[in-house]
Chains A and B, each alone.
Chain A
Amino acid sequence: MTQLAVRDREARPRRELDARQRRKISPYKRREALVRILCIAPPLLFLAALVAYPLAQTLYLSVMKSTLIQPDEVFVGFDNFANILTSASFWNVVSNSVVWTVVVVALQFVLGMSAAVILNRRFVGRGFLRAAVVIPWVMPGVIAAVLWNLLYEPYLGPIAQLLGFIGVPAENAAWLSNTSTALFAVIIVAVWKGFPLSAIMYTAAYQNVPEELREAARLDGAGTWQVFRNVVLPSMAPTIRSTIVLTTVWTFNYFDLVYVMTNGGPGDSTEIFPTAIYRLAFVDVNYGLSSAYGVISVLILGIFTVLYLRQLNKSGSLNR
Chain B
Amino acid sequence: MKKVFLSALVAGGMMVLLGACSSGDTGGGSEGMTLEIWDMQQSSKDVAAAYAPIVEAFEADNPGAEVNVTTFPFAQYRDKVLLAMKGGTGPDVLALDQVWMAEFAAGGLVAPLDDQLAESDSISGDDFFQGAWASNSYEDQTWGVPLNADVWEQMYYNADLFTEAGLDPENPPTTWDEWTEAAAALTKAPDQFGISLMGCKDEGTVVMSDSFLFSNGGSIVEDGSATFDSEENIGALSQYQDLLEYSPSGTAGACEQDAVARFTSGTAAMLLAGSWQQDTMKDAAQFDWRIAVPPAPEGKSFVGALGGWNLAINAKSENPDLAFAWIESMSQADNQAAVNSLIPALQAAGEEFIMANRSQPEVVLATLNNGAPRPLSPVYPAISQAQQDVMQAIIGGESPENAVVTAQGKIADALSALD
Query: Which residues from chain A sit less than 8 Å from chain B, CB to CB?
Result: 31-32, 34-35, 38-39, 41-42, 45, 67-71, 153-156, 171-174, 176-179, 182, 262-267, 279, 282-285, 287
Contact = CB atoms under 8 A, between A and B. Distances in A.
Nearest to B83: A282
Nearest to B14: A42
Contact of B249 (A39, A156, A174): A174
A262 B253 contact: yes
Contact of A35 (B7, B78, B108, B109): B7
Which of B82, B104, B202, B252 has the most chain A CB atoms closer than 10 A to its own CB? B252
Interface stretch (B210-218, B234-242, B355-363, B388-396): B388-396
Interface string B361-384: 000000000000000001101100
Given A35-B3, A177-B252, A177-B254, A282 B79 contact: yes
Nearest to A279: B385
10 nearest A-B residue pairs (beta carbon): A174-B250, A266-B252, A177-B253, A177-B252, A38-B7, A69-B106, A177-B250, A68-B107, A265-B201, A69-B378
Contact of A283 (B106, B250, B385): B385
Contacts of A39: 7, 10
B138 to A, nearest CB: 11
A38 B8 contact: yes
Nearest to B267: A155
Given A39-B7, A285-B103, A265 B250 contact: no
A41 B11 CA distance: 8
Contact of A179 (B10, B109, B200, B396): B396
Residue among A34, A35, A39, A176 with the most chain B CB within 10 A?
A: A35
Contacts of B395: 177, 266
A34 B249 contact: no
B249 A154 contact: yes
A243 B418 CA distance: 48
A141 to B, nearest CB: 14
A176 B392 contact: no
Nearest to A142: B75
B190 interface: yes
A174 to B, nearest CB: 3
B16 interface: no
Contact of B385 (A153, A178, A182, A284): A284
Contact of A38 (B4, B86, B389): B4
Contacts of A153: 250
B135 interface: no
Contacts of B8: 38
B251 interface: yes
Given A68-B103, A69-B107, A172-B249, 17 more contacts: A32-B3, A38-B8, A45-B14, A68-B82, A71-B107, A154-B248, A155-B190, A172-B190, A176-B253, A177-B252, A182-B253, A263-B202, A265-B252, A267-B389, A282-B79, A283-B381, A283-B385
Contacts of B251: 177
14 contacts: A31-B4, A68-B82, A68-B104, A155-B248, A172-B190, A174-B253, A177-B251, A263-B200, A263-B202, A266-B392, A279-B385, A282-B78, A284-B381, A285-B82
Contact of B201 (A155, A172, A264): A264
B7 to A, nearest CB: 4
Contact of A68 (B3, B109, B200, B389): B109
Interface of B: 3-4, 7-8, 10-11, 14, 78-79, 82, 86, 103-104, 106-109, 190, 200-202, 248-254, 265, 267, 378-379, 381-382, 385, 389, 392-393, 395-396, 417-418
A298 to B, nearest CB: 21
Contacts of B201: 262-266
* Candidate in B11, B265, B381 with the most chain A CB atoms within 10 angstroms: B381
Given A71-B108, A285-B381, A265 B200 contact: yes
Contact of B253 (A156, A266, A282): A266
Contacts of B7: 35, 38-39
A172 B248 CA distance: 9
A68 B109 CA distance: 9
Given A42-B11, A68-B103, A282-B82, A154 B393 contact: no
Nearest to A287: B86
A155 B253 CA distance: 14
A197 B79 CA distance: 31
Contacts of A67: 107, 417
A146 to B, nearest CB: 11
Contacts of A154: 248-250
A202 B324 CA distance: 62
A45 B393 CA distance: 50
Nearest to B8: A38
B249 A177 contact: yes
Nearest to B378: A69
B202 to A, nearest CB: 7
Contact of B4 (A34, A265, A283, A285): A34
Chain B CB within 10 Å, residue with most, of A39, A264, A283: A283
A69 B103 contact: yes
Contacts of B14: 42, 45
B108 to A, nearest CB: 6
A264 B201 CA distance: 8
A34, A263, A267, A287 — which one has the most chain B CB atoms within 10 A of its CB?
A267
Contacts of B253: 174, 176-177, 182, 262, 265-266
Contacts of B200: 263, 265
Contacts of B4: 31, 34-35, 38
Contacts of B79: 282
A263 B249 CA distance: 18
A155 B265 CA distance: 11
A71 B378 CA distance: 13
A174 B197 CA distance: 14
